[in-house]
Structure 1
Amino acid sequence: MLISPFGDMLKAFRKRKRISQRALAERLGVHHNTIWSWEQGNYLPEGKRIVLELGRLLGLSEAETRQLLEASLTALSPHWSVPYQRNVFFTGRGTLLDQLHQLLHTDHAVALTQSYALYGLGGIGKTQIALEYAYRYALEYSAIFWIEGETVESILASLGRIAEHLQFPERGDSDQQRMVAAVQHWLTTNGTWLLIWDNVEDPELLYQFLPPTRQGAILITTRRSSLGTLAHSLELSPMTLDEGAAFVLRRAHLNKAMRSDESKPHPSEWGTAQELVKVMGGLPLALDQAGAYIEEAGCGLSDYLQRYQEQRVPLLGRRGTLGRDHPHPVTTTFRLAYEQVKQQHSLAADLLCLCAFLAPEGIPEGIFLGRTASSEGTADRIVTDLYQFDQAIGALRNFSLVQRQPEMQMLSLHRLVQVILQESMSEQEHMQWQQRVVHLLNAAFPAVTSDTGTEIWEPCEQLIPHVMACAVTLPACLQSQEFAELLLKAADYLDQRSQYERAKSLYQQALQIQIQLFGLEHPHVASLQSKLAYLYRLLGNYEQAKLLFQEASHVLEHALGLEHPEVAYPLEGLAMVYYEQGKYELAEPLQQRALLIREQARGLEHPEVALSLNRLGNVYYEQGKYELAEVVYQRSLQIRERAWGPEHFRVAGPLSNLGDLYREQGKYELAESLFQRAVRIAEQALGPAHPDVAFTLVSLADLYREWGNSTQAEELYQRALAIAEQALGPEHHAIAYPLHGLALLYQGQGQYEQAEALFQRALQIREQRLGQDHPKTAQTLHDLALFHQFQDKMSEA
């Protein structure tokens, strides 16, 4: 008699229900002795369906039914040859297991074999999923056989175990071909079996050892992304944050505080576990190693994270004392794969090394297809043959070291592949690959000038993550002019997209490189100081901006002459600082001088002249010189329309400024048409979330408020406020514009509490960002005082 946990469990549940063996058999529709045989352990139900029906008849809960199903796997399938125990720490992957079950179900394998391959990076958990599938659905197959598919020797050994299990006469035959033929014959003449081929490296071995005709299901695990006509491929992704966190907590035996269903651990550990999953990129092997280390060392998750930051490679190279299910640690797994790639295809290995220093996701294939020599004149390996490139990517995909998104022409790789590749390089190799990455990115990154439009935004956006990765990781010794150029181009783009904080960090880094290369008195340094100063001005740091503009102006005038066009940049920047501080009398002569320099150097129709005209018009407007402002605004608009066309995003600026001017003069219809055109152009060109759109919306809202259209005004103010807060942050000085306008609107509507709160917030921002003496601060303070006076009169009345 067999010892049967299933039988004991069934007997206990049946007695609790107070139903006899015969009565249960009748309700189930089976022979009256069947229940007795199950409880005695003579044999088990033939499939999952019967066990589920038992659970229903006995009134079992979902958890109890699951327990009964698990117990029914005691004898597994009638023919079972799987060399591994079930992984007690297996976690998640439910969606994929359900998908495999649908694809490999015995009902689908009547006429033809259903073959599916799980592919992915080494350590991604392919074998463990196949193993869990075998145990979970064992009762649905007449036989489950496991074949170690890496080499001819391992395949023959696995087939020998199957022959032994089936008691074939040929099982001990010295002629192994007779043994193989016997197994193949059995697979041909029997059905509803599951054959698992684990870790297939060479598809030719499948052709060699599988029988030509067969009935059953085949599940293959492999690193190869495609097995041709042998199987349909399913890519295995890293664990999700929740799956990975639950797994590492279980593996480290830190899940004691989890609820009985173990669906969510205690909050004190959950966030740290998720952070570890992020660091490991959701790679199950790495998480298993981390859990094993935590268990063996007796440390906590936070302790492990700290140790990992200090000693990544030793920890990734430590498998743990009981890591027999996967013989190699992460470090060895990836290094062996890289060495195999290097032997097979040197260009593929080179591409992988380049990818190691980029961001892991969204790597544009185009950066590898550019020019062939670096700016220093040294030879640089570049792909010019697309067929050769495809072959190289194919070699990497055979080991799942990269993933390719052909519709987007992008590549990606796991971050731990990057870590291990970098750590395995010498210092000299580090430098060589980093220099090549900088060269490739600099060659690919478009230059942002006053003439460029939004057409460059998409390629720039694709490259920005990779530039930022270089900015963080490249060492101080790699401070080249080409790296500075790359940082500058990326910063210029981020500046144009109003991502000021990110742009500032790149400008600062580029400036430090320029200072090291050329010294403080060089024109390159001064020009970059001007760009950084412009950013400080936009961020409201006027003192720092003023200092940099003055230093840059002094250097450029001394080095290039008083009339050189480069001199106009710091002059105009300084004028804008004075303008935003309300010092219009200081701003006007500087702005006029900058305009004159550009007119003489660039010509009267140059876009840079239009920029100076627009800014000079702003100074005139604030001084009440409306006629002069209108003249320069109109001229700026005409130059830009002729240079770029009437729908270019740079046309929106003078349109909006003219609208402000006409609104101030009471020409509401004319102002409205200009504002609406400016909003439409800005939204189409820059996107609805750009801060320039918000500023134009505020101007249009001001017009509607003054015009008496409160509903539209409120809607525009609220939208502008949301855009500006999202793009610039809640404390940026520009936030005060929609706040102030909305406060005036609510005051006029009698919503006094809302109005006062908005006045106070606008005043606080302007006092902190602009200073108490700024005209805009004074205006807000004045309007708030009038508001309080009005409230006092209302109280007296």
Structure 2
Amino acid sequence: MAEQRSGGGAESHGGRAAPEHVLVVFPGYHRPWAAWINQRLEAHGVRATLQRWDPPREVPLEDSLGDLLLARGQVLLVLNDWFFELGPRPAGEWNDVLRGFVAAHAERFAAVNLTNRTLLPSTAVLEPVSLWGVGEEEAEVRLLSRLAIEPRRNAGRRLPASALARYPDTPPEIWGDVPRRNPRFTGRDDLLTELQERLMDAERGSAACTLLGMSGIGKTQIAAEYAHRFSPDYDVIWWVNSDDRNVQRDRLGELAVKFALPTGSEPGERIRAVREALRRGDPHARWLVVFDGWDDTDGIDVMLPQGPGHVLITSRNRGWREHTDFLEIPSFDRAESTGYLMRRAPQINAVEADEVAAEFGDVPLPLVQAAAWLGESGMDAPEYLRMVRDGRLSTVDDPAAGDGMPNASLTSWSILINRLRRAQPQAIDILSLCASFAPGRIPLGIVRAYPQAQLPEDLRWMATDLPAWTRALDTLVNYSVLTRETRGPMTTDEIGPHQESIHMHRLVHDIVARLTDGDHRDAHRKAVRTLLAEADPGNPTDSRHWPRYSELLPHLEPSGALRSTDPRIQVAVLNCLRFCDRSGEYKAGIRLAGRIRDEWTAFMDPLAPHMQELTTLEGDILRRYGRFREAYDLDLAQRERLAATGNSDRLGTLQSKISIARDLRFLGQYQESEQLQREALAEARSLLGDTQFLTLVARHNLGVVLRMLGRYQEAYEQDTDTLATCETVLRPHHASTLNSNNAVAQDLRLLGRYREALGRQEANVKLHVKILGPQHLHTLYARSQLALCRRREGGFKEDIGTMMASVLDHLEQAYGRDHYVTLSAVTNYANFLREHGDLDLARELITEAEAGYRALLGPAHPVSTGVLANTALVMQASGERSSALTMLESALAGLTASLGSDHPWVLGCALNATAARNFNGRVVEAAELSRDTLRRARHVLGNEHPLTLSCQVALATDLRGLRETEEAGKLEEDALLTLTRTLGAQHPHTLSARQRNRPYWDFEANL
């Protein structure tokens, strides 16, 4: 026949003609194999075409196969046992067609077999060659032999490795906990193809797509299938469970280890390194990161990778449409629903399957449950539907579940749970226990890891009967109630039951909590919170324990741990709060502290030790997050409660004073803060001695407030004394010692001792990086101070801007743009840019800082006022001299009113105001202010301080403008001699004064 001759070609193996064209016919889930076959055929000179195939059930199978023969050449079917369930087909239809139609056109059909399971006997007509379990070279030999193709030498090897399709049995180099492939995944082929096209066609750096839809719609299953189906396109596939932000951060950070990136253990540091590696595409450019269950869009800027790879997100939050490309995940098509039901429950026909699908609205999750139950029980569909509709087995009073799940599906869950209660009651025990955890990732293995915990009688079997434990979990997995956490590329590695974690969807968790027997719920919650306390590592200051704390944290509230009166559990709760504080999870910490307070207030004395500890921690977190007024109100209320008891609790009163003194400092009330801090220090020394930790904290805080008051010499003396004690008592590598060392370097810089400050701060930053990690807030602050030291010392012109930009970027990534330390870095970088001529960016940044501080601190705060001086300098450099003068005079008046006329910030602002007056032709007023400012600077800072010498140079300039040249010359000459002696002849300050450039003062915004 002419149809048969169209596939002819050169004679090859055994006299058979090698085809000129091959149509590779494959189900969607075998795309990796089809892509590999296609490339191998074309490498050997045979043109190939890929045809994804899922013939509609309504079309006779013979017609669908006949359509394939419209293509020229050979039709190669990519087979496994699942291939013959496409449709699905009535029993016997495939055998009939293979024996009849296919046998009649046997020369046009060929097949490869990808399973070791038994195929239909009539498949023999296709003479399938098995590629199961063989290596790539052998698979290629078998493929070519089956199609009578003569191999070419080094075929296709000229292609770069990145262009070669990976052999499907070879996983990506890095495969990160992607859920096991669902062997019953059905349909969604068009959606998966569209998803792949969107990611591939997106611009480099913005290939991110979010799968949006309600719970139970199948988003996670689609994402997992995409990862498996398109795995040959990637060298790295990394799955990030994102239901909980702490788990999400830790999971993404774990990729730093896989990439062998040189980072510490700080989550923020690891995330930064991972995102940078992904952005560069180094060490891998073909990557896929899947964020599963990412509903909170707050962390997009910090967490969302960019670069040459792809990002896939599953979420219920429709807000993702504003940030990424997106695909709305609909319910199943009816054909997908009925096909799935008929494959899982072969006893039902197409009409019955259609009725069941309609009952559940084609929503995948309840369909999965219905199909599992029907398939396991063997019940007829009409009987099943009657049970569903009359609700005879339902224990749910609520007519509908959350997220729009139909009421009938709740009934289906009730049927399933009742059946489990009869057939596998231990699975119900596990479900009931899981309902006392939070949804999402549940560290269920702690049940077996801590057998010493007192489990209720009905749960004790979990700690002793491993086979029953395994069977119960297997049952729940098989019924799609929960999934196990997985390891390895395509399969689950064996892990100990004490390490076992499961994942329970929010919707499933809600339904299980409603439908399982609640008689033991209180006892189960008590067991869970006892287990959480046992699993507490006991040291939240050690970052090595942070992954465990992030795992425990979500389960505190649902287990009732926040309401517990057990001191051991209360300690665990406080340790989780300390973890939030230490790890920088301030938002989570603030919420947790509020919930703890709500619960403990009902039964705990406000002055009980744990309640006082809660207040101290909550205040610390509020301050670290920048909510200074709230921290102050909290601490003030605590002081009033203590005062009402007659101050009998001396230690509590001391802690309260230290906290309030710190609050006052952040609120800009420096004099009041100093007074209270001195009282606290005296009490600490009297009560605890000079070397106890709380005393050292009070000593350090006094140094900080003295620095904020502009009393730099006193601050230096206080800080050096504190540092010496810290080095002796806490040792040099303690975090508090590092902080004290940082304070001494800052004092030296503010005293104008730039070289000493620089040498100390360089060594200090190295210690910060070594001990705390490069991304820790204290480390970033120390690096910011180092940049200022280098700028003031004057010998690092090329590196300072780069360093400032880097510090700012790290702070933004880790702590956000509006954090007060970030705002300080914004201010410092803006000052540097202005000095070096980038006025546009300087104006943009200083405007941002001004608005940020105003929102954070209020317009009357000294820092908010001081930043106006920097804004005025940008305006002045841009030629807006009149406006700059107005702003400087306003800033000078505001700072003088709040700090007094002798504060260094006031003197610096006055220096800038003298220049503004001079530039606006008000030379007499400029000279008057210059003379008064110089007098005050000499009194406050001494004759040799850089700011004093700048005031002296400024006065000389103003006097020269008034033609008082003799005095001007003497002042200028004396200033130059002193600058040369103290800073050096080549220091920028000295050179600028010699060139008669008008000096200025930068406001450094520190809190």
TM-score, structure 1 length as denominator?
A: 0.63
Instruction: Check the 8 A contact 1:556/1:566 in 2, yes or no.
Output: yes
SS in 2 for 1:139: strand
Give the residue type in structure 1 aligned to 2:705. V
Cα distance between partner residues in 2 of 1:317 and 1:566: 53
Correspondence list, 1:549-560, <5 A: 549-559=635-645
Post-superposition shift, 1:70? Answer: 9.2
Q: In the alignment, which residue of structure 2 is the partner of 1:353?
A: 433
Matches within 5 A, 1:463-474: 463-471=549-557, 473-474=558-559
Give 1:515 shift: 0.9
Gaps of 5+ in 1: 1-6, 15-20, 39-47, 91-136, 148-160, 167-189, 197-234, 319-328
- Cα distance, 1:71 vs. partner? 4.3
Give the 3-state SS of the residue equivalent to 2:211 in structure 1: helix
Q: Is structure 2 residue 718 aligned with structure 1 residue 632? A: yes
Q: Which residue, 845, 856, 866 being the options, matches 1:758?
A: 845
With over 3 angstroms needed to count, the CA separation of the structure-2 counterparts of 1:332 and 1:279, relative to structure 1, is: farther
1:690 Cα offset (Å):
1.7
Q: 1:77 to 1:730 in 2, by over 3 A?
A: closer
Task: Report the alpha carbon displacement of residue 664 of structure 1 after superposing the two structures with TM.
Answer: 1.0
**Structure 1: distance between partners of 2:221 and 2:84:** 26
2:561, 2:573 within 8 Å by CA — same for their partners in 1?
Answer: no
Show CA shifts across 1:668-711 (max 9, x none): 23212322233222222322222221211111111111122233
Partner of 2:977: none
Partner of residue 721 from structure 1, selected from 808, 813, 820: 808
Of 289, 296, 313, the match for 2:358:
296
**Cα drift, residue 618 of structure 1:** 0.2
Matched position secondary structure for 2:212: helix
Distance across 2 between alignment mates of 1:368 and 1:560? 49
Q: Return the offset for 1:505.
A: 0.8
Q: In structure 1, how many angstroms separate the alpha carbons of the residues matched to 2:44 and 2:116?
A: 28
**Residue in 2 aligned with 1:445?**
536
> How far apart, in 2, do the equivalents of 1:31 and 1:247 lie?
41
The residue identity in structure 1 corresponding to 2:111 is L
Alignment of 1:258-297 (within 5 A): 271-273=211-213, 276-278=217-219, 292=337, 296=358
The 5 A counterparts of 1:99-498 are 139-140=111-112, 146=118, 237-238=179-180, 247-248=187-188, 271-273=211-213, 276-278=217-219, 292=337, 296=358, 309-310=402-403, 342=425, 353=433, 357=437, 360-361=440-441, 363=443, 365=445, 368-370=448-450, 372-373=452-453, 388=464, 394-395=470-471, 399=475, 402-403=484-485, 410-416=499-505, 421-447=512-538, 453-454=541-542, 457-471=543-557, 473-474=558-559, 480=565, 484-498=570-584
Is contact 2:642–2:653 with CA below 8 Å preserved after alignment?
Answer: yes
- CA displacement at 1:298 relative to structure 2: 10
CA contact 1:445–1:486 (8 Å) conserved in 2: yes
* 1:433 counterpart letter in structure 2: H
Paired position in structure 2 for 1:24 = 8
Cα separation, 1, equivalents of 2:42 and 2:220: 45
Shift, 1:658, TM fit: 0.5
Letter in 1 for 2:760: L
Amino acid at match of 1:237: P
C-alpha change, 1:280 and 1:569, in structure 2 (3 Å) is: farther
Return closer, same or farther for 1:373/1:546 CA change in 2, 3 Å cut-off: same
Of the three residues 669, 685, 701, the one matched with 1:615 is 701
**8 Å Cα contact 2:439-2:503 kept in structure 1:** no
Q: Are 1:590 and 2:589 matched, yes or no?
A: no
Asked if the contact 2:529/2:560 (under 8 Å) is kept, the reply is: no
Whether contact under 8 Å (1:584, 1:622) holds in the other structure is yes
Letter matched to residue 823 of structure 2: A
CA distance in 2, matches of 1:692, 1:143: 57
Correspondence for 1:207: none
CA RMSD of aligned residues (A): 5.6
Closer/same/farther in 2, CA of residues 698 and 584 from structure 1, 3 Å limit: same
Aligned to 2:835: 748
Question: What residue is the counterpart of 1:95 in the other structure?
Answer: none
Asked whether the equivalents of residues 721 and 735 of structure 1 are also in contact (C-alpha less than 8 Å), the reply is yes
**Secondary structure of the corresponding residue to residue 681 of structure 1:** helix
C-alpha separation in 2, matches of 1:50 and 1:272: 33
| 1:545-566 residue CA offsets vs partner (Å, 9 max, x unmatched) | 2211111111133347256112
Q: Which shows bigger deviation, 530-539 or 657-666?
A: 530-539
Distance 2:798 2:637 in 1: 49
Would the aligned equivalents of 2:556 and 2:573 in 1 still touch at CA under 8 Å? no
Do the aligned partners of 2:833 and 2:839 also contact (CA within 8 Å) in 1? Answer: yes
Q: Using the alignment, how far apart are the partners of 1:311 and 1:550 within structure 2?
A: 47
Residue 625 (structure 2) aligns with: 539
Partners of 1:370 and 1:474 lie apart in 2 by 17
- The equivalent position to 1:518 in structure 2, one of 604, 612, 624, is 604
- Following the alignment from structure 2 to structure 1, what is the Cα–Cα distance between the partners of residues 469 and 840? 64
When structure 1 is superposed on structure 2, of 753-762 and 485-494 the one drifting more is 485-494
Q: Which runs of 5+ in 2 are unaligned?
A: 23-33, 55-63, 90-108, 134-176, 226-329, 338-353, 368-398, 478-482, 488-493, 883-918, 921-1007
Change (3 A) 1:330 1:86: farther
- In structure 1, distance between residues paired with 2:761 and 2:114: 75
What residue identity is the alignment partner of 2:812? E
Q: Hey, what does 2:654 align to over in structure 1?
A: 568
Distance in 1 (CA, whole Å) between partners of 2:110 and 2:7 is: 28
Q: Distance in 2 between matches of 1:650 and 1:383?
A: 48
> Could you tell me which residue of structure 1 aligns to residue 817 of structure 2?
730
1:671–1:63 distance in 2 versus 1, CA, 3 Å: same
For the residues of structure 2 that align with 1:673 and 1:382, how far apart are their CA atoms? 62
Aligned to 1:743, the other structure's residue is in SS state: helix
1:99 corresponds to = none
Deviation sequence 1:416-461 (CA, Å, 0-9, x none): 575665444222333222221111112222445xxx742xx32342
Q: CA deviation at 1:747?
A: 1.5
In structure 1, the partner of 2:761 is 675
Change (3 A) 1:334 1:458: farther
Take 1:643 and 1:392, find their aligned partners in 2: how far apart are those partners?
54
Match of 2:279 in 1: none
What's the counterpart of residue 740 of structure 2? Answer: 654
Structure 1 residue 613, shift from structure 2 partner:
1.0
Q: How many angstroms apart in 2 are the aligned matches of 1:641 and 1:623?
A: 26
Q: Deviations over 1:166-216 (max 9, x none)?
A: 9xxxxxxxxxxxxxxxxxxxxxxx9978999xxxxxxxxxxxxxxxxxxxx
Show CA shifts across 1:698-733 (max 9, x none).
111111111222333222221221222122221222
- For residues 660 and 407 of structure 2, what CA distance do their matches in structure 1 show? 54
Deviation at 1:605, TM superposition (A): 1.1
1:86 aligned partner, one-letter code: E
1:641 to 727, 747, 754: 727
1:442-490 residue CA offsets vs partner (Å, 9 max, x unmatched): 2222445xxx742xx323422323322443x457995655665443221
Cα distance in 1 for partners of 2:788, 2:616 equals: 33
Deviation at 1:657, TM superposition (A): 0.6
Structure 1 residues 785, 260: closer, same or farther in 2, change over 3 A? closer
Is the alpha carbon distance of 1:428 and 1:143 closer, same or farther for their aligned partners in structure 2, counting shifts above 3 Å?
A: closer
2: distance between equivalents of 1:83 and 1:384? 37
Contact 2:429 2:459 in 1 (8 A): no
- Tell me: CA distance 1:738–1:382, structure 2 relative to 1, closer, same or farther (3 Å): farther
Output one character per residue of 1:256-292: Cα deviation in whole Å (capped at 9) or x when no partner: 996999999999x9732597334779799x9869973
The answer as to whether partners of 1:144 and 1:194 remain within 8 angstroms in 2 is no
Q: Structure 1 264/698 Cα, relative in aligned 2: closer, same or farther at 3 Å?
A: closer
Alignment: residue pair count: 617
For residue 340 of structure 1, report the CA deviation from its aligned partner.
6.0
Residues 500, 539 of structure 1: 8 Å contact kept: yes
AA paired with 1:296?
A
Distance 1:28 1:331 in 2: 63
Query: How far did 1:785 drift?
Result: 1.5
The AA in structure 1 aligned to 2:218 is: V
Paired residue for 1:703?
Answer: 789
